[in-house]
Amino acid sequence: MVPAAGTGMRVGGDLPKQYHLLAGRPMIRHAIEALCASPRIQRVFVVLAERDEIWERFDWTELGVKLSVLRCGGATRADSVLNGLEAVSAVVKADDWVLVHDAARPCLSTAQLDALIEQVGEDEVGGILAAPVADTLKLSTPGRRIERTVSREHLWQAQTPQMFRHGLLREALSRSRIVTDEAGAVEALGRHPLLVASDASNLKVTYPADLVLAEKILLEGKGA
Ligand code: C5P
């Protein structure tokens, strides 16, 4: 499931960022390509804002029959995901796996996707792609001076896809929607999702500088 109902404009341009062109194609197209191409994934649902008029401007037929569009985006990312999970509940069983992936992560590689699916396997809880923190971390005072250095040991940057069973994720998101990722909602249930090691190539595009880097990764071939 790919929530794409955001209006993210920090990246610049006239269009919501999921439609920003990267290597000649909309960002979301790259984000869903690896999912549509994977023989392990049966269906790909894109969650759009109800009044999205841009999706139809592009031709999606090359991605095949797995792809379906749901026009049930919500006010927040978590709302969009929950609405999407509810919309597919007639065709997705409670114990089926769902991978939630951001439209703003266009560089997901087949190797990263396969590692997530293989390592989560039949895990009780589920898991996410994440990168170990590489930088030294500073905690700031309100005046933007360094209060102290925070140990980066055991710290990870959460990425997507995030893989959970439909029933668990639906329950988690309906209980706590003030979360910035699916794992956060599952953690709030007292569960501990698995971290599957990824790397910085699966970056989230937020600012204009991210576009340059994402395009470079796409043109040079996605990382392992
Ligand atoms: O803005 P941000 O980068 O956090 O968005 C992450 C993903 O969530 C994007 O794919 C965006 O389109 C999606 N989103 C959504 N519904 C919202 C807000 C964001 O589907 N209301």
Measured between alpha carbons, how far is 193 from 184 in angstroms, rounded to an integer? 9
The number of the ligand 1 atom at minimal distance from the alpha carbon of 81 is 20
Per-residue model confidence (pLDDT) at position 222: 61
Measured between alpha carbons, how far is 16 from 8 in angstroms, rounded to an integer? 5
At 143-169, the pLDDT tens digits run 999 999 999 999 999 999 999 999 999
The number of the ligand 1 atom at minimal distance from the alpha carbon of 8 is 1
Q: Would the pLDDT of 223 be above 60?
A: no
Name the residue at shortest CA distance from atom 21 of ligand 1. 76
The total number of structural domains in the chain stands at 1
Complete DSSP assignment for 105-149: -TT--HHHHHHHHHHHTT-SS-EEEEEE--S-EEEEPTTS-EEEE
Residue given tokens 């880097």 in the structure block: 213
Q: CA 54, 55, 59, 62 torsion: positive or negative? A: positive
Query: 77, 80, 85: which to mutate for ligand 1, most atoms within 8 A of CB?
Result: 77
Measured between alpha carbons, how far is 99 from 126 in angstroms, rounded to an integer? 10
Query: What average pLDDT does range 81-90 have in this prediction?
Result: 98
Q: What is the largest CA-CA distance in the chain?
A: 54
**Closest-CA residue to 186 (of 127, 112, 119):** 127
Q: Which residue ranges have their beta carbon within 6 Å of ligand 1?
A: 3-6, 8, 18, 47, 73-77, 80, 102-104, 204, 206
> Distance, CA 3 to ligand 1 centroid (Å)?
6
Q: Would the pLDDT of 68 be above 70?
A: yes
Query: 32, 71, 80: which to mutate for ligand 1, most atoms within 8 A of CB?
Result: 80
Query: What average pLDDT does range 37-47 have in this prediction?
Result: 97
Residue 9: CB atoms within 10 Å? 12
> Distance, CA 32 to ligand 1 centroid (Å)?
14
Residues forming beta bridges with residue 149, ordered by sequence position: 138
Phi first, then psi: give them for residue 21, nearest 5 degrees.
Answer: -80, 130
CATH code, domain with 142: 3.90.550.10
- Cα–Cα distances (Å) from 117 to 35, 45, 123, 158, 186, in that order, read 11, 18, 10, 16, 18
Residue 197 token pair? 């090691």
> Distance, CA 220 to ligand 1 centroid (Å)?
26
Per-residue model confidence (pLDDT) at position 13: 73
> Distance, CA 116 to ligand 1 centroid (Å)?
21
Q: Are 174 and 84 in contact (CB under 8 A)?
A: no
Range(s) of the domain holding residue 129:
2-221
Could you tell me where the beta strands, DSSP code E, fall in the chain?
2-4, 21-22, 25-26, 44-48, 67-70, 97-100, 127-132, 137-140, 146-150, 156-165, 194-197
pTM score:
0.95
At 112-155, the pLDDT tens digits run 999 999 999 999 999 999 999 999 999 999 999 999 999 999 99
Q: Are 174 and 82 in contact (CB under 8 A)?
A: yes
